[in-house]
């Protein structure tokens, strides 16, 4: 048998040729020249390079489901037809040129109280004021993320509106040619804000106990699942722990995983952190893989793992030992957009190269 990393995986009717995937990575590059939230040539190049580099599945950066859900003024969206057309250009390229039968999914998101923020290379931090193109944010309550402007507490009508926005964005994603959809319920963004007892202090049906705090995430899952084809897999990214006392822990995430599976989620993309600034994360190679392994072991739900997994050996170990069903690569892919071709060579697996690049196929060393 060959390497576990390069075995196929089926999620509903979607067949992925191997278990090496691209994690969502915000590019903060939707400039005003192409329209608010519209992906452009940068995104085509960025995502297209992973398709020609051998990735089996690419997840795009977070695509906001409405304007106030954008992380920054330069973030992508899927709340209008112009944005959907921009994404369709990219999905077509990936399907046409992907060397591993590459599939592509989008990550639907709402940033909640962490929206309207400055992008990492702006030289600034915190919330963007209206004078710089920012907007008022919303969240489960009025508590602000450290260094950010305070949000307004969402009304029940606004919550219902966000659920509808996720569903509408999912319809656009299907029409734009995406093969799968991931719902962003992690990293301190809106759905995670509702999940975390460190953020959600509501006393109505959308807060209180764990069932109430998870209600919005599961309502969004239901809304999306109801509008996409039954044959299309649905993914959910979660933060398995808040890395802070009194916050979400792995036991709570196992319970959420079970519920999400019951509501039609096919794979959990397991990350961590982001809800509060006082988190303490023991960062190191594979520091999050244990969360994916535990969820997979205790629930039977398929999982993907992410976080400082940079080498072919690390990725192979995670899959071969049953810690995860797939490995999402992020920063290592930015450094080497052909990471999967390199990994296949190092693990002794033959993976197709783009015909114009075949003269570069390594014989002895990569």
Per-residue model confidence as pLDDT tens digits over 321-351: 999 999 999 999 999 999 999 999 999 999 9
Task: Name the band, by pLDDT with cuts 50, 70 and 90, for residue 37.
Answer: very high
189 is catalytic: yes
CA atoms of 144 and 141, how far apart (whole Å): 9
Q: Which residues pair with 61 in a beta bridge?
A: none
- What per-residue confidence (pLDDT) applies to 364? 86
In a domain, residue 16? The reply is: yes
User: What CATH number is associated with residue 44?
Assistant: 3.20.20.70
Note down the domain range covering 43: 4-360
Q: Tell me if 181 is assigned to some domain.
A: yes
Looking at 118, 189, 287, 357, which residue is catalytic?
A: 189
Reported confidence tier of residue 264, pLDDT bands at 50, 70, 90: very high
In a domain, 245, yes or no: yes
Q: What is the mean pLDDT of residues 176-196?
A: 98
Is 366 inside any structural domain?
no
Q: Is the residue at 173 inside a domain?
A: yes
Pair of tokens at residue 233: 């897999």
Kindly report, residue by residue over 112-171, the tens digit of the pLDDT.
Answer: 999 999 999 999 999 999 999 999 999 999 999 999 999 999 999 999 999 999 999 999
Predicted structure pTM score: 0.98
Give 272's pLDDT tier (boundaries 50, 70, 90): very high
Encode burial over 225-263: b for 16+ CB neighbours within 10 A, e otherwise. bebbeeebbbbbbbbbbbbbeebbebebbbebbebbbeb
Orientation of helix 339-346 relative to helix 312-320, angle to 10°: 70
Query: What domain count does the chain have?
Result: 1
* Within-domain flag for 365: no
In the prediction, which pLDDT does 32 show? 81
In a domain, 150, yes or no: yes
Residue 86 lies in a domain: yes
pLDDT at residue 366 in the model: 87
């Amino acid at each position: 048998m060959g390497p576990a990393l390069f075995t196929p995986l089926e999620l509903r009717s979607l067949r992925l040729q191997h278990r090496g995937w691209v994690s969502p990575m915000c590019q903060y590059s939707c400039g005003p020249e192409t329209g608010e939230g519209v992906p452009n040539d940068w995104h085509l190049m960025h995502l297209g390079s992973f398709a020609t580099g051998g990735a089996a599945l690419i997840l795009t950066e977070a695509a906001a489901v409405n304007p106030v859900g954008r992380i920054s003024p330069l973030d992508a969206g899927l709340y209008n037809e112009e944005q959907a057309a921009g994404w369709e250009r990219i999905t077509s390229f990936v399907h046409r040129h992907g060397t591993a039968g590459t599939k592509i999914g989008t990550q639907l998101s709402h940033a909640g109280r962490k929206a309207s923020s400055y992008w990492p290379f702006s030289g600034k931090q915190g919330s963007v004021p209206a004078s710089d193109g920012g907007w008022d944010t919303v969240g489960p309550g009025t508590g602000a993320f450290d260094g950010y402007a305070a949000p307004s507490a969402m009304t029940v009508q606004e919550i219902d509106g966000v659920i509808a926005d996720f569903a509408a964005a999912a319809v656009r994603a299907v029409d734009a040619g995406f093969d799968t959809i991931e719902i962003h319920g992690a990293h301190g963004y809106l759905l995670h804000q509702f999940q975390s007892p460190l953020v959600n202090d509501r006393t109505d049906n959308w807060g209180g106990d764990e069932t109430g705090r998870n209600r919005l995430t599961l309502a969004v899952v239901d809304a999306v699942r109801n509008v996409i084809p039954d044959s299309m897999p649905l993914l959910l990214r979660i933060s398995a722990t808040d890395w802070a006392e009194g916050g979400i822990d792995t036991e709570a995430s196992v319970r959420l995983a079970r519920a999400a599976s019951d509501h039609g989620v096919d794979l959990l993309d397991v990350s961590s952190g982001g809800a509060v600034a006082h988190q303490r994360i023991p960062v190191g190679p594979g520091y999050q893989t244990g969360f994916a392994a535990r969820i997979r072991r205790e629930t039977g739900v398929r999982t993907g793992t992410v976080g400082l997994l940079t080498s072919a050996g690390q990725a192979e170990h995670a899959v071969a030992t049953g810690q995860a069903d797939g490995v999402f690569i992020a920063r290592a892919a930015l450094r080497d957009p052909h990471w999967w071709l390199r990994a296949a060579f190092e693990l002794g697996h033959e993976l197709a190269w783009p015909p114009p690049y075949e003269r570069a196929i390594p014989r002895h060393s990569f």
